Amino acid sequence: MQSNTQSMLSASYKDALRDAFVKLDPRTQLKNPVMFVVYVGSILTTILAAQSPSVFAIAVAIWLWITVLFANFAEAVAEGRSRAQASSLRGLKKKTWAKVAEGEVRQGASRDGLKWHPLEADSLRRGNTVLIEAGDVVPADGEVISGIASVDESAITGESAPVIRESGGDFSAVTGGTRVLSDWIIVRITVNPGETFVDRMISMVENAKRRKTPNEIALTILLVALTIVFLVVVGTLLPFSAFSVASAGSGQVVNLVVLIALLVCLIPTTIAGLLSAIGVAGMSRLLKANVIATSGRAVEAAGDVDVLLLDKTGTITLGNRQASAFIAAPQVPARELAEAALLASVADETPEGRSIVALALSQHRLALRTLTEINGKATDFTAQTRMSGVDISGEGVSERRLRKGAADAIARYVESLGAKMPVTVKTAVDEISRRGSTPLVVADGARVLGAIELKDIVKTGIRERFAALRNMGIKTVMVTGDNRLTAAAIAAEAGVDDFLAEATPEAKLKLIRTYQADGKLVAMTGDGTNDAPALAQADVAVAMNSGTQAAKEAGNMVDLDSNPTKLIEIVETGKQMLMTRGSLTTFSIANDVAKYFAIVPAAFVSTYPQLSALNVMHLSSPASAILSAVIFNAVIIVFLIPVALKGVAYRAVGAASLLRRNLLVYGVGGLIAPFVGIKLIDLLISAMGLK
């Protein structure tokens, strides 16, 4: 997706330049009321300049047209970028053929004994059942109803490691455009043509410029209101000036070209010219983070989130528990326990087993021997025995039966051998539970050696992310099926603000409603079908792409990387979009002060020579003063295109300091910048001897 970025970029600027002219179509201009005023002003000044040509009138006319073009260019650059994204997505929609089953296919059916006929992927409809074998491209989004396969989803997620997709459970969804690498799956298609993920991504990118978000509309209203006020201000200046000239008996009535120049300088062209670029850039930033939003509204809402619900497993903790300590029974040397635990786990390939091996090796410097070296025979974990272990039989050594398992399972095991679990080990087991960890007990035959503590491992860096969220003003709540004790311990370690233990889907739903009733906006991530009701209730719901179809339909965003902490990035993107708009609006309005100081004295100095006292910038002549303001007004749009595309940087430092910072940069900066800019342009103009 990002391979040929460099060549694409230069091509996109060329395209944008061309589009800037294409967008001069009045129908396109009409969509942006503020820039439409500039557009009409450009036409009027052109006519006026043609009627009575003067260097000044022609220069103003040219620069007004340039203002319009610059605004068009800003929009075209942003669109060009997202178009590039869309077209690379469209590449995924190659013409593919699907093998469609004839008749009804049961859940878990085998591929043999069914008849398949080929059908073009584009004509697949919801409910069709298709067979996808190794090497095939998944024709459309769907749910696996039978089989298991490894799927390469790199085209969508950019993640090269293949993922497993199988029927049932939370990993049953497949996305159109991905490729099955091995084995086969039977998939029930869940979308109609034009509704697939890729389609939705493309349409989102393309819609970003057409459909305005609520906040954008509200801002546009403000901008239009300001434009109307300034239309009145400038419109009434003509009679005011005529009256002043007649009454003071000196000077000339203000020139129409000057009035139009003043109007264009006063109306918020900077923000209006960049507004749609900001929106498009925001959406494409989100897409770059591999998140699909159903609407721009959802992205904006993400910026307002107050409470974030996160699943414990996989989000806050690593999916697996890890051994963290050996607690030996009395009269048992710690080293013996460790060695027994090590031997019992040699054959255990689960992450927990491997973590026990690793801990034993590192704590007691034991040597790792293979099963054959110790001449052992593995006893695997079963749901009935709930323990695993190794039987070692060697020459001259009595046979050892090493077992590890849940405390009650080992207790039953040793009891069956006529022994009893020592009380101290029982206490140790209880204590481990209380800490929020999982205890395992190790036995050598009938002799209980001690306990192993398996701990939930909180992801590294997650604490800092939660701290960042807290600074943003977002409260984090951990949701887990664990009991309260375990949950509380992990919550404290991870640094979340609150937790919901023993969570059921109903409890989750209730929690969300409680927060909402308090007037909070709730965001959550989820992947399972049982998350669907809560996802539907949450204000911002991010479904994992690996999750079930039900979850994806309930959410208003889908994270293609299936990374639950992605919400933080989504929130930041939403905030960035609003911040960029707000900051540039402030900048635009603050600019007006300097423009007044440039234009007002220039416009009326012939009537009231004393008004030259207001020419604080000491601009060389009235004509050059007005022209400088117009040029500054146009050029500033181009200067701010990078800000619009990149967005104003968000920092999680709390509302007040964020506001102080942005007010300083864009408010005070917006007050000062034009004084400097207009003066410099004026120096340039007079140096070039234009006036």
Partner 1 sequence: MSATLQLIVYLVLLFLLAWPVARWMSAVMDGRFGWGVRIERVLFRMAGVRADMEHSWKSYAFGLLAINAIGLVAVYAIQRLQVFLPLNPEAMAAVSSDSAFNTAVSFVTNTNWQGYGGESSMSYLTQMLALTVQNFLSAATGIAVAIVLIRGFVRKSSSTLGNVWVDVTRITLWILLPLSLVFAVLMSAQGVIQNFKPYEKVATVEPVKWQTPVLSADGTPQRDAKGAPILAEQRSDTQTLAMGPVASQLAIKMLGTNGGGFFNANSSHPFENPTALTNFQQMLAIFLIPAALCLVLGRMVGDRRQGIALLAAMTTVFIVAVALATDFEQQGNAALTSLGVDAIASVTQPGGNMEGKETRFGINASALFAIITTAASCGAVNAMHDSFTALGGAVPMVMIQLGEVIFGGVGAGLYGMIVFALLAVFVAGLMIGRTPEYLGKKIEVFEMKMVALAILIVPILVLGGTAIAVVTEAGRAGIQDAGAHGFSEVLYAFSSAGNNNGSAFAGLSANSPFYKVLLAIAMWLGRFGVIIPVLALAGALAAKKRLTPSEGTLPTRGPLFVFLMIAVVMLVGLLNYVPALALGPLADHFAGFAR
Within 470-499, the residues that bind partner 1 by CB under 8 A are 470-475
Q: Which stretch binds partner 1 (CB under 8 A): 87-95, 361-369, 522-530, 577-585?
A: 577-585
**Does position 662 bind partner 1 by CB under 8 A?**
yes
Return the DSSP state at 137.
B
**Does position 467 bind partner 1 by CB under 8 A?**
no
Minimum Å distance from CB 583 to partner 1?
Answer: 5
Minimum Å distance from CB 235 to partner 1?
Answer: 8
Minimum Å distance from CB 612 to partner 1?
Answer: 8
Q: Are 197 and 558 in contact (CB under 8 A)?
A: yes
Q: Distances in Å between the alpha carbon of 562 and those of 153, 297, 489, 557?
A: 12, 22, 26, 11
Neighbours of 181 (CB within 10 A): 14
Out of 614, 635, 672, 690, the only residue in the binding site for partner 1 (CB under 8 A) is 614
Q: Distances in Å between the alpha carbon of 91 and those of 87, 130, 135, 178, 561?
A: 6, 22, 18, 12, 20
Task: Determine the angle formed by the axes of helices 566-604 and 462-472, rounding to 10 degrees.
Answer: 40
Minimum Å distance from CB 330 to partner 1?
Answer: 51
Residues near 234 by Cβ (< 8 Å), separated by ≥ 6?
259, 260, 262, 263, 266
**Does position 604 bind partner 1 by CB under 8 A?**
yes
**Does position 248 bind partner 1 by CB under 8 A?**
yes
In this structure, the strands spanning 163-166 and 291-293 are: unpaired
In this structure, the strands spanning 387-394 and 397-405 are: antiparallel
**Does position 562 bind partner 1 by CB under 8 A?**
no
Out of 13, 21, 97, 243, the only residue in the binding site for partner 1 (CB under 8 A) is 243
Q: Locate 536 and state its tokens.
A: 């539907």
Out of 40, 347, 611, 635, the only residue in the binding site for partner 1 (CB under 8 A) is 611
Within 284-303, the residues that bind partner 1 by CB under 8 A are 300-301, 303
Minimum Å distance from CB 313 to partner 1?
Answer: 27
**Does position 561 bind partner 1 by CB under 8 A?**
no
Within 301-360, the residues that bind partner 1 by CB under 8 A are 301, 303-304, 306
Within 199-228, the residues that bind partner 1 by CB under 8 A are 214-215, 217-219, 221-222, 224-226, 228
Name the 3-class secondary structure at 165.
strand
**Does position 600 bind partner 1 by CB under 8 A?**
yes
**Does position 616 bind partner 1 by CB under 8 A?**
no
**Does position 659 bind partner 1 by CB under 8 A?**
yes
Q: Are 441 and 429 in contact (CB under 8 A)?
A: yes
Judged by beta carbon, residue 74 or residue 652, the one nearer partner 1 is: 652
Out of 33, 505, 582, 669, the only residue in the binding site for partner 1 (CB under 8 A) is 582
**Does position 664 bind partner 1 by CB under 8 A?**
no
Minimum Å distance from CB 664 to partner 1?
Answer: 11
Task: Print burial letters for 118-151: b (CB count within 10 Å at least 16), e (below 16).
Answer: ebebeebeeebbbbbeeebbbbbbbbbbbbebbb
Judged by beta carbon, residue 412 or residue 661, the one nearer partner 1 is: 661
Out of 590, 617, 627, 645, the only residue in the binding site for partner 1 (CB under 8 A) is 590
Give the chain's length: 691
**Does position 586 bind partner 1 by CB under 8 A?**
yes
**Does position 269 bind partner 1 by CB under 8 A?**
no
**Does position 237 bind partner 1 by CB under 8 A?**
yes
Which residues does the annotation mark as catalytic? Answer: 311
CA angle 439-444-448, nearest 5°?
Answer: 50
* Nearest partner of 599 among 345, 356, 260, 289, judged by Cα: 260
Out of 201, 299, 479, 579, the only residue in the binding site for partner 1 (CB under 8 A) is 579
String of contacts with partner 1 for each residue 510-529, x by CB under 8 A: --------xxxx--------
Number of helices and strands (H, E) in the chain?
Answer: 23, 20
Binding-site size for partner 1 (CB under 8 A) equals 82
Residues near 209 by Cβ (< 8 Å), separated by ≥ 6?
75, 78, 79, 82, 276, 279, 280
| CA dist., res. 109 & res. 506, Å (int) | 33
Judged by beta carbon, residue 216 or residue 352, the one nearer partner 1 is: 216
